[in-house]
Amino acid sequence: MIIVAFGALLVTGVAQNLPWQNPGSEGGSPQQLVHFLYPQQASLPAGKPAVIEMHFRINDGLHINSHAPRQKSLIRTELIEAEPVGVNIAAVDFPPGVDYAFPADPTQKLSVYNGEFVLKMHLTAQRGNHLLQGALRYQACDAHTCFPPRNLPVAIDVIGQ
């Protein structure tokens, strides 16, 4: 009986999507072109403002639009987060982008990230363990084409001490 209840709970958990998950992508999610490097865990003083530096790496030969692209039609990089009870996210700072021009039109400059980049999340956590979950939404491109937008799951165990 316990096995059946656990199985039902497992199926229910799989069927629900979190806000950053793409519905209908269960069959085969696309390969990620950006990777969350660290931290997987962060200890903070309980009840005091703190900053967590979130490190990401973009695959070689690719770039993603910055958080503030120069053209409104471009998909900006953003962090979608769900605040667990006991955590308050005040802001997320994105680095400035670097200039990039496609070989076909070197006069048209884009604001992009490439290589490694860091986001700074300003937050306050109450005493205890909190699982902070979210996703980095991005669109990766190479010198010739852009891939469909993707959501990279991100999770950090925040410990308020």
Query: Which mean pLDDT values do the consecutive 10-residue runs of the chain (161 residues) have?
Result: 37 41 48 95 96 97 94 93 92 95 82 96 96 96 91 96 93
Query: How far is residue 101's CA from residue 111's CA, in Å, rounded to a whole number?
Result: 9
The HSE-up count of residue 39 (CA atoms within 13 Å, CB side) is 15
In a domain? residue 99: yes
Euclidean distance between CA atoms 130 and 87, whole angstroms: 7
What is the DSSP secondary structure assignment for residue 103, as one 8-state letter? T
pTM of the model: 0.79
Nearest to 155 by CA among 121, 124, 115: 121
Q: What is the CATH number of the domain that holds 154?
A: 2.60.40.1250
Instruction: Give, in degrees to the nearest 5, the angle at Cα 141 between 101 and 95.
Output: 70
Q: Contact, 119 vs 4, CB < 8 A?
A: no
For residue 36, tell me if it sits in a domain.
yes
Q: CB–CB of 74/97 below 8 Å? A: no
Q: What is the pLDDT of residue 104?
A: 76
Nearest in space to 157 (alpha carbons), one of 49, 18, 35, 42: 42
Residue 128 token pair: 């205890």
Phi-psi region of 24 (alpha: psi -120 to 50; beta: other; left: phi over 0): left
Question: Which domain does 57 fall in, by range?
Answer: 32-160
Centroid of chain to Cα 70? 21
Question: Is 11 a domain residue?
Answer: no
**Would 146 be classed as within a structural domain?**
yes
The structural domain count of the chain equals 1
Whether residue 20 is contained in a domain is answered as no
| pLDDT value for 73 | 87
Tell how many helices (H) and how many strands (E) occur in the chain: 1, 12
Residue 109 falls inside a structural domain: yes
Instruction: Tell me the C-alpha distance between 44 and 152, whole Å.
Output: 24
**Residue 68 located in a structural domain:** yes
Is residue 128 assigned to a domain? yes
